[in-house]
Every structure is written in structure tokens, then in C-alpha cells.
Amino acid sequence: MITSGTGFGADCPVEEYLISDPVALLHRWLPDDESPPPLMALATVGRDGYPRVRHVLLSEVDATAVYFHTDSRSSKVAELSGHPRAAIALAWPEVGRQVVAHGEVQRASDDELRRTYSRRSRYLQLLAWVNDAETAALDAAERRRVWAEFDRAHGELSPPSTWTGFAIELHEVTFWRGDPEGPSQRSRFRRTHDGWTAQVLPG
């Protein structure tokens, strides 16, 4: 896990350069499961061909994919149904690091969807329920009233039918490291039939 306070470019243990599996390296850089999920920029291809980008929470990483979760009525879901490919970017500017990746996107399994929903905070579980166009159109006081009423009326929540999630199957992952005393540098991993290929690039 990256910790702030180590300084730009200072948090770069030499043994990291020996890791040939980008998923293992990603796990080293990401916060542990007990910490709040990190934010990532998620790019999709709009139905008009223009790229679209927004931030979402990175819910989890398994052996091949990075997961995020969203509302099935959102634009990103419509975009992914037309063009099931996405790119992500995460940055830790205070320590001088960035990860960018892209790949094919698949809907997460029902088990994964339930598990991830159960790990969300109460606030985010409520948000998945109380987050529709009708409520958004109300004034702030009304929106809060709807929210509080829903909260009061419900104990433990299960995911709404609109809760969905996607696995971005990692095709390419690039790690950027800053160095205050030298040039920045990138390690790029590409998936092939035989595993990962690695390449070192200028920053």
C-alpha cells in the first residue's frame, strides 16, 4: 500500500522492480481491503465516438481484473454495452506514482455484486437505492427528506436491481514512478497468451 508522507519518488523499494506480475504490483500499490476504496478515472467510448471520463471507486482486484460498481441506468453502462472496453487511471501525486490500464469489460457475477454491495458503507448502500432522476429533480430539503425516510424505513439493505458492476480484464497496465533526483520511468505490462510481457519506458 502506498503511504503518503514518504515523499515524492522516495517510496520505491528496489524489490518492486523484480515483480513480473502487474497484478501483484498493483496490490502492493493499492490500499488494503480494510481501507476505503481508492478513486480512479474511468474512460469509456461514448456512443457518438467521443471518449467519456468520470471517477468511480475501485472496488476490488482479482487475478485478472479490476472491478467497479455503478447504476445500471447510468450512461457508462449504456456506453459499455455498445463498446465493452474501458481505460482507468489512478494517481498518487504526493508520492509520485500513477497506474493506467485498459482492457475488455464484462459484467461482474451476481456473487461479486452481492459481496461488494455488502462491503459498501451504509451511505453508499443508501445511495444505490436513493439515486434516481426523480429524486435528483427535487430541491435539497426534499431530497434529504426522501433519503431520511428511506433510511428510517429500512434495516439491513440488499442491493437494488439497478446495482451492477464490471470487471475490466487487464490487457495492459503501466506503472509510472517519479524520482526527485532523476527522470521518471514507466514499467508497462501487456497480456499475451503466455502471460505478461514487460517493457521499460521513459516517464
Chain residues binding ligand FMN by CB under 6 A are 39, 52, 54-57, 68-71, 74-76
Bridge partners (DSSP) listed for residue 71: 163
CB neighbour burial string for 47-72, b if at least 16 within 10 angstroms, e if fewer = eeeeeeeeebbbbbbeeebbbbbbbe
The least distance separating ligand FMN from the CB of residue 73, rounded to whole angstroms, comes to: 9
The helix/strand/coil state of 22 is helix
Question: Closer CB to ligand FMN, residue 36 or residue 183?
Answer: 36
The helix/strand/coil state of 69 is strand
Question: Closer CB to ligand FMN, residue 16 or residue 71?
Answer: 71
Angstrom distance (rounded) from CA 53 to CA 45: 9
Say which residue the cell 497480456 belongs to. 191
Question: Closer CB to ligand FMN, residue 56 or residue 170?
Answer: 56
Question: Closer CB to ligand FMN, residue 99 or residue 128?
Answer: 128
